Structure 1
Amino acid sequence: MAQRATQSVMVAATPSRVYSVVVDFGRYREWVADLKEIDVVERDADGRALEVAFRAAAFGRSTRYTLRYDYSRAPELLSWHQTRGDVAESLNGSYRFDPVPAGAPESTGAPESTGAPESTGDPATTVTYDLEVTLAVPVPQFIQGRAAGRIQRHALSELKRRVERLP
């Protein structure tokens, strides 16, 4: 059975800047700690990565999976679904990039939100990561839920750190 989770983080940058980091797959190995290999398998007519193969550390082992990206709602939303994988039977997700109004409070108000820039009027983005995963091996749902949550927390913290450290 699929396990779904959603988490958000506030990043001190414009939505377009955060989006540009997310779609720059060629640089993922510079900032995604558990990523071992990445290969853009297919690009669209605009040069955007449509299908990307990954090898990453996960669940105490190395896993391979291939994701197909959907840019139909870009740059506000980038979604994907797994086309191949050895640990997950299905892996569907999205990043949503919402501008934070100037002077907004430091928290998005969602209990699963983490990190926020100080309210200085500088550009900020709420990045929401939605993930639905079904593991290929039988695992209790609460463990699948914990795994999905860990993946999200790790991905969002690495993304935030990367975007906010770029010049």
Structure 2
Amino acid sequence: MADESTQSIVVDASADEIMAVIADFPAYPEWAAAVKQTEVLDADDANADSNRAKKVRFTLDAGVFKDVYTLEYDWAADGREVNWNLVEGQMQRMQRGTYRLDPQDGQTKVTYTLSVQLVVPMIGLFRRKAEKMIMDTALKELKRRVEGS
């Protein structure tokens, strides 16, 4: 089993506002610098209230790391957590992640957990460092997008 990395940030917004940004995959290229394109492949049409994406393809360009990959999402009924798993990828063998939102006095603590295994082997220390950098950037970009809108 792969190691996981976890990081948190406090965002000055409600959990609903944050989850709305997380769930708006077509807008990712506007605020997530490494994400160049997204395509929702499958959505939950059964629940018209949420209409959350179930499967999304991402085109990523983070300098040395470029990939096209598809993630499958599982949304918690309470709207406070979303989990995802890699369905297919060019450079990744496995990706598992979670955003968990915990409301706290008018703000929300966002906790991001991520585990990635690349097709090319990478020393554990470097992989964890890369995961932490990805999470730090993602959390800061998410915070900026939510608080700026």
Common fold: TM-score over 0.5: yes
Tell me the amino acid that sits aligned with residue 148 of structure 2.
R
Quick one: distance in 1 between partners of 2:129 and 2:91?
15
1:156 equivalent in structure 2? 139
Kindly report structure 1 stretches of 4+ aligned residues shifted beyond 2 Å.
Answer: none
Query: Would you say 1:9 and 2:9 are equivalent positions?
Result: yes
Relative to 1, partners in 2 of residues 1:14 and 1:81: Cα closer, same or farther, differing over 3 Å?
A: same
Relative to 1, partners in 2 of residues 1:52 and 1:2: Cα closer, same or farther, differing over 3 Å?
A: same
- Higher radius of gyration, 1 or 2: 1
TM-score (norm 1): 0.83
- Determine which structure has the larger strand proportion and give its number: 2
Shift of 1:30: 0.9
1:54 equivalent in structure 2? 58
- C-alpha distance after superposition, 1:99-158 (max 9, x if no partner): 013xxxxxxxxxxxxxxxxxxxxx200000011111111110001001110110000000
1:72 equivalent in structure 2? 76
Quick one: distance in 2 between partners of 1:48 and 1:145?
30
Tell me the amino acid that sits aligned with residue 29 of structure 1.
P
Shift of 1:58: 3.4
Shift of 1:73: 4.1
Query: Would you say 1:20 and 2:20 are equivalent positions?
Result: yes
Give the percent of matched residue pairs that are identical in Structure 1 and Structure 2.
Answer: 37
Query: Would you say 1:81 and 2:85 are equivalent positions?
Result: yes
Structure-to-structure mapping, 1:97-136, within 5 angstroms: 97-101=101-105, 123-136=106-119
The unaligned stretches of length 5 or more in structure 2 are none
TM-score (norm 2): 0.92
The unaligned stretches of length 5 or more in structure 1 are 102-122
